[in-house]
Chain A
Amino acid sequence: MNSARVLAKAQRISLVETQVSAPLAAGIAKRSGQLPGPRRFSRRRRAEMITAYLFILPTLALFSVFSVYPFARTVELSFTDWDGLSRTFNGVGLDNYFAAFRDGIWWGSIWNGLILAVVALVLMQGLGLLLAIAVDRKLVGQTIYRTVFYIPPILSGIVVATIWKWLYEPNNGVINSTLESIGLGELAQPWLGNPATALWAISLVSIWQGVGYPFLLFLAGLQGISGEIYEAAKMDGASGSQIFRTITIPLLRPVIGIVSVLTFLGAMQTFNLVIAMTGGGPGYATEVPILHIYRAAFGGTPDFGYASALSIIFGMMLFGVSMISLYLTRRSRDEQS
Chain B
Amino acid sequence: MAMATSIATVRRRRFAAATTGILALALAVTGCSSGTGEAPTTSITFWHYWTDRAEVLQSLATEYQEETGVEVKLELVPGDAMGQKFQAAAQADKLPDIAASWEPAGEVLAVYANEGQVQNLSALDGGQDWFDRFEPATVAGVSYAPDNPWKVDPGAYLVPFDTNNMQFLYNKDLFDQAGISKLPTTLNEFVDASEKLRAIGAQPFISGFSSWPLESMASMYIDNAISPETRSAAYAGEGRYDTKEWTEFLGIFETLAAAGVFADGIVGYDMPAAETLFASGQAGMIFDGSWALGVFNQTNPDFTNYGVFLPPSLGDEELRIPGGVGSTAFVVGSSPHVDEAAAFLEWLTDAPQQKKYAESSFNIPANREVATELALDENIAAFAEGADKLIAPTTEVMQAPVITTMAKGLQLIIAGTDTPAAVAARMQLALETGQPQ
Q: Does B226 contact A (CB under 8 A)?
A: no
Chain A 244-290 interface residues, beta-carbon cutoff 8 Å to B: 278-279, 281-284
Please give the distance in Å from A297's CB to the nearest CB on chain B.
8
Contact among B90, B203, B436 with A105 in the assembled complex (CB-CB below 8 Å): B436
Q: Is the CB of B268 within 8 A of A105?
A: no
Q: Does B263 contact A (CB under 8 A)?
A: yes
**Besides A85-B111, A170-B264, 19 other CB < 8 A contacts?**
A103-B435, A168-B268, A170-B265, A170-B268, A171-B263, A190-B265, A190-B266, A191-B265, A191-B268, A192-B210, A193-B265, A193-B268, A195-B417, A282-B268, A283-B411, A283-B412, A298-B83, A300-B400, A300-B404
Please give the distance in Å from B11's CB to the nearest CB on chain A.
37
Separation of A16 and B412 alpha carbons in the complex (Å):
61
Q: Does B355 contact A (CB under 8 A)?
A: no
Separation of A286 and B424 alpha carbons in the complex (Å):
22
Please give the distance in Å from B271's CB to the nearest CB on chain A.
12
Q: Does A172 contact B (CB under 8 A)?
A: yes
Chain A 273-317 interface residues, beta-carbon cutoff 8 Å to B: 278-279, 281-284, 298, 300-302
Chain B 390-411 interface residues, beta-carbon cutoff 8 Å to A: 400, 403-404, 408-409, 411
Chain B 254-311 interface residues, beta-carbon cutoff 8 Å to A: 263-270, 273, 277, 280, 282
Q: What chain A residues lie within 8 Å of B210 (beta carbons)?
A: 192-193, 278-279, 281-282
Separation of A49 and B289 alpha carbons in the complex (Å):
69
Q: Is the CB of B269 within 8 A of A193?
A: yes
Q: What chain B residues lie within 8 Å of A302 (beta carbons)?
A: 87
Q: Is the CB of A193 within 8 A of B108?
A: no
Secondary structure at chain A's binding surface: helix, strand, loop or mixed? loop
Q: What chain A residues lie within 8 Å of B419 (beta carbons)?
A: none
Separation of A35 and B437 alpha carbons in the complex (Å):
69
Please give the distance in Å from B283's CB to the nearest CB on chain A.
8
Q: What chain A residues lie within 8 Å of B282 (beta carbons)?
A: 171-172
What's the interface size class on A, roughly?
35 or more
Q: Is the CB of B91 within 8 A of A85?
A: yes
Counting chain A CB atoms within 10 Å of each CB, the highest count among B87, B265, B408 belongs to: B265
Separation of A84 and B91 alpha carbons in the complex (Å):
8
Write out, one digit per residue, whether chain A residues 173-196 have a CB within 8 A of any chain B CB (1) or not (0): 000000000000000011111111
Q: What chain B residues lie within 8 Å of A284 (beta carbons)?
A: 408
Contact among A99, A190, A301 with B108 in the assembled complex (CB-CB below 8 Å): A301
Q: Does B230 contact A (CB under 8 A)?
A: no
Provide a sorted-by-A list of 26 A–B residue pairs whose CB atoms are within 8 angstroms: A85-B111, A85-B112, A104-B437, A105-B437, A170-B264, A171-B203, A171-B263, A172-B277, A172-B282, A190-B265, A191-B268, A193-B210, A194-B265, A194-B268, A194-B415, A195-B412, A195-B417, A278-B210, A282-B210, A282-B414, A282-B417, A283-B409, A283-B412, A283-B415, A283-B418, A301-B107
The number of residue pairs between A and B whose CB atoms lie closer than 8 Å in the complex comes to 104
Please give the distance in Å from A186's CB to the nearest CB on chain B.
13
Binding site for A on B (CB under 8 A): 83-84, 87, 90-91, 107-108, 111-112, 114-115, 117, 203, 210-211, 263-270, 273, 277, 280, 282, 400, 403-404, 408-409, 411-412, 414-415, 417-418, 433, 435-437
Q: Is the CB of B435 within 8 A of A281?
A: no
Q: Does A43 contact B (CB under 8 A)?
A: no
Q: Is the CB of A298 within 8 A of B265?
A: no
Please give the distance in Å from B404's CB to the nearest CB on chain A.
8
Q: Is the CB of B436 within 8 A of A192?
A: no
Q: What chain A residues lie within 8 Å of B411 (beta carbons)?
A: 281-283
Please give the distance in Å from A193's CB to the nearest CB on chain B.
3
Binding site for B on A (CB under 8 A): 83-87, 99, 102-105, 165, 168-172, 189-196, 198, 278-279, 281-284, 298, 300-302
Contact among A105, A172, A193 with B266 in the assembled complex (CB-CB below 8 Å): A193
Q: Is the CB of A298 within 8 A of B87?
A: yes
Separation of A172 and B202 alpha carbons in the complex (Å):
12
Separation of A85 and B88 alpha carbons in the complex (Å):
9
Q: Is the CB of B435 within 8 A of A102?
A: yes
Q: What chain A residues lie within 8 Å of B277 (beta carbons)?
A: 171-172
Counting chain B CB atoms within 10 Å of each CB, the highest count among A102, A165, A194, A198 belongs to: A194
Please give the distance in Å from A270's CB to the nearest CB on chain B.
18
Q: Is the CB of A85 within 8 A of B437?
A: no
Q: Is the CB of A102 within 8 A of B433?
A: yes
Separation of A170 and B117 alpha carbons in the complex (Å):
43
Contact among A168, A191, A283, A298 with B84 in the assembled complex (CB-CB below 8 Å): A298
Q: What chain A residues lie within 8 Å of B267 (beta carbons)?
A: 190, 193, 281-282
* Given A99-B435, A172-B282: A87 in contact with B265 (beta carbons within 8 A): no
Instruction: Using CB atoms, name the residue of chain A closest to B407.
Output: A281
Counting chain B CB atoms within 10 Å of each CB, the highest count among A85, A103, A192 belongs to: A85
Separation of A84 and B84 alpha carbons in the complex (Å):
10
Separation of A83 and B90 alpha carbons in the complex (Å):
12
Instruction: Using CB atoms, name the residue of chain B closest to A306.
Output: B435
Q: Is the CB of B107 within 8 A of A84?
A: no
Please give the distance in Å from A245's CB to the nearest CB on chain B.
43
Please give the distance in Å from A103's CB to the nearest CB on chain B.
6
Instruction: Using CB atoms, name the residue of chain A closest to B423.
Output: A283
